[in-house]
Structure 1
């Protein structure tokens, strides 16, 4: 491993500054100084100078087309708008505010200007002007891993061709700048670096070049703990901790008074194919993991334990809503959107096939996106050029068919 000091900011655009909420937990980092102003919140609880605090989540959909054209749709007003151009993406990731568009030469970062600050016992909702922030160059399409808060902590980017692992400073992003909190080099492989505490968790390959071990590192890159994780693939952060999938289960990373705890949660005996991607409502403890079989793995990170939910079709995408009724939303390979009861494992509703044109093109079928929030699920149909809004609690009713200014080859929901 070769540890390098973070370079100077690669790009800077004056944009936003996040001032801390008066009752913010002490572990949250200090807010950056806004340009031309004070970092103090003033008399208003949760106030951020130059940013509008609003009464409800400012939920938006973001669509990125095959050429990198981007646009937003306000789910409250129905108004659409265009965003900046990014490099033609291979994959797109969001933390609920920023959109990270990755291709083989780097990652472009967009600030959608809408986000939620989660104080655990209450929330603050913000709205500002969307901006293009900049680009992080790299070799190979990066795997991007996000944390719980968009304006604190870090975002992980692992570039497989070079083995470069980067932790991007989120507080700098909130001020419109790209700044690396950590950059280190490991052996090239299809790896992950995910934010965790003041540092991260990074994969290490075996002799065959496959991710096989996880290392919890501090802010300086020094190892604090490690654990085996053969075939490490897929990651998500819940309120409980960081999840990374393994061929034999998953590892959940939690913090015990500053000491990292890496817990292996094995699959039950005779388990089906392992989960390689995870989806769920932001912050909730239960997530859905998908592999190649007709079914979904449910991982409760609080217990922690796996549960297998068989589905009526192979699965293109799945997400656990983790609400009081235990809804799990699944997009089947027949183009239906299916809703299951987490407890009974019964399918309680399904739409008619919605993605006929998209499923006729294998490349577009692989890009079908699913996002869930506390009220709705959103499913992209790239070939049809629309996004379906599904009321999963009302018999999988198609509430709206939404069209954005750019074709939703990649889909993200922000404001969460």
Structure 2
């Protein structure tokens, strides 16, 4: 595996001093979640809460942290050193999603979405910030769901979708771990594997379908009135939000784009051109997506990705030197389109012209497993770096896209599967729909 040719350094936009020693210890509840008061409307939230007893230590700078699931739990790493900070037990197959507050993740577990505190956060004090860190822990805050599915963070709202009931719960991202965060709830006409996006003006973009098929998208205003709708999106799946606030939803024959009160279909160049996993960026009006053309394939191994320009309503394809999977898509700090290939390289694409700018060797070549739940390499862009896991070697690597180098690597005691993280005091990730999800239907 690649190793640094010089002493590891924090990459661009993450060059910080090492965290200092204890400056002040306070109960974490003073800075974040404590014992929550019941919601004003008891029906608006069924989340449970518990008081935090962990002690917080003030740090000189944000402390970004990673979380990696394995069979039986999740390990938490310091994102700058890749040292293990905690090992938390989690039963069953667990998915991880940013909660939207820069500190917590929402783990999709049996019974609902459970808040996982990574123990790193910041507080604004006038013209400056204070940064804190504490021991990571599993909280008792759970938003019940029969089949917890997509979680989408955007503009201070976190939208949860329950595939088992079709219920959408929109939370205030800043208070998601307090247990009294619901600000809006609705249930779609039929349960389905869906997704919802809450926008800054309280507009809600939500899919509709049944357990057998999905093709509908509705847009509701703050009062629940329909402002736009379309049924021209067969197999609707996945979403991303571009820099111009346009929402892009994947279809089996292209995408639907919601912008300025209108839903617009952008056709794929093939009769069947499925886009189901996407990554947006606050630095780019272009959304990166996967692209598949064989409706009968059990394991297609695609070698092209899609780029949807929300300014022009156009879709283009980029050929890659290797295939990839649904955990392979990410966006760089300047909006670069990033794809982790089965050749072990991180491929860097200019989203504006679709040119392949670089292929950075990171891990050994690998093959996509037959089942989507099985461990496979994953990629995460966080706080100026890009992180890549390799289950075959139980390793995680930090990549600097600007210098095209792997600046740090670490060996784990577990086989990593899901990968997520928090900036720990910097701007919360996922504000523009960086979202790739599973493909089981």
TM-score, length-scaled by structure 2: 0.69
State the Cα distance separating 1:412 from its structure 2 match.
Answer: 0.7
1:100 maps to: 106
TM-aligned CA distance change 1:110 to 1:302, over 3 Å: farther
TM-aligned CA distance change 1:303 to 1:413, over 3 Å: farther
State the Cα distance separating 1:375 from its structure 2 match.
Answer: 3.8
TM-aligned CA distance change 1:142 to 1:97, over 3 Å: same
In the alignment, structure 1 residue 12 sits paired with structure 2 residue 44: no
1:237 maps to: 241
Query: Residues of 1 paired with 2:97 and 2:308: CA distance?
Result: 21
1:53–1:124: 8 Å Cα contact kept in structure 2?
no
2:152 maps to: 145
Of 359-368 and 94-103, deviating more is 359-368
1:394 maps to: 403
Superposition map of 1:81-230 within 5 A: 81-82=85-86, 84-94=88-98, 95=100, 96-103=102-109, 105-114=111-120, 126-129=131-134, 130-133=136-139, 134-148=141-155, 152-153=156-157, 155-173=158-176, 176-186=178-188, 187-197=190-200, 198-205=202-209, 209-228=212-231, 229-230=233-234
State the Cα distance separating 1:184 from its structure 2 match.
Answer: 2.3
In the alignment, structure 1 residue 319 sits paired with structure 2 residue 330: yes
State the Cα distance separating 1:289 from its structure 2 match.
Answer: 0.5
TM-aligned CA distance change 1:361 to 1:173, over 3 Å: same
Match of 2:77 among 70, 73, 76: 73
State the Cα distance separating 1:15 from its structure 2 match.
Answer: 6.0
Query: Residues of 2 paired with 1:65 and 1:375: CA distance?
Result: 25
Note the alpha carbon deviations across 1:238-270, whole angstroms, 9 max, x for none: 44223322233323334x5xxxx1332513544
TM-aligned CA distance change 1:389 to 1:270, over 3 Å: same
1:60–1:72: 8 Å Cα contact kept in structure 2?
yes
SS in 1 for 2:174: helix
Query: Residues of 2 paired with 1:335 and 1:273: CA distance?
Result: 25
State the Cα distance separating 1:65 from its structure 2 match.
Answer: 1.6
Aligned length: 360
Note the alpha carbon deviations across 1:189-239, whole angstroms, 9 max, x for none: 111122223252211127x84221211224454433323333210112344
1:253 maps to: 258
- Answer 1 or 2: higher relative contact order, Cα 8 Å, separation at least 6: 2
2:82–2:409: 8 Å Cα contact kept in structure 1?
no
1:281–1:372: 8 Å Cα contact kept in structure 2?
no
TM-aligned CA distance change 1:161 to 1:364, over 3 Å: closer
TM-aligned CA distance change 1:414 to 1:282, over 3 Å: farther
How well do the aligned residues superpose, as a CA RMSD in angstroms? 3.6
State the Cα distance separating 1:168 from its structure 2 match.
Answer: 2.6
State the Cα distance separating 1:352 from its structure 2 match.
Answer: 6.3
TM-score, length-scaled by structure 1: 0.73
TM-aligned CA distance change 1:285 to 1:73, over 3 Å: farther
2:63–2:78: 8 Å Cα contact kept in structure 1?
yes
State the Cα distance separating 1:164 from its structure 2 match.
Answer: 2.0
Of 81-90 and 380-389, deviating more is 81-90
State the Cα distance separating 1:6 from its structure 2 match.
Answer: 3.7
2:358 maps to: 348
Structure 2, unmatched stretches of 5+, are 1-40, 293-301, 424-428, 430-441
1:39 maps to: none
SS in 2 for 1:171: helix
2:287 maps to: 287
Note the alpha carbon deviations across 1:284-315, whole angstroms, 9 max, x for none: 43331113321111223345432211101122
TM-aligned CA distance change 1:156 to 1:59, over 3 Å: same
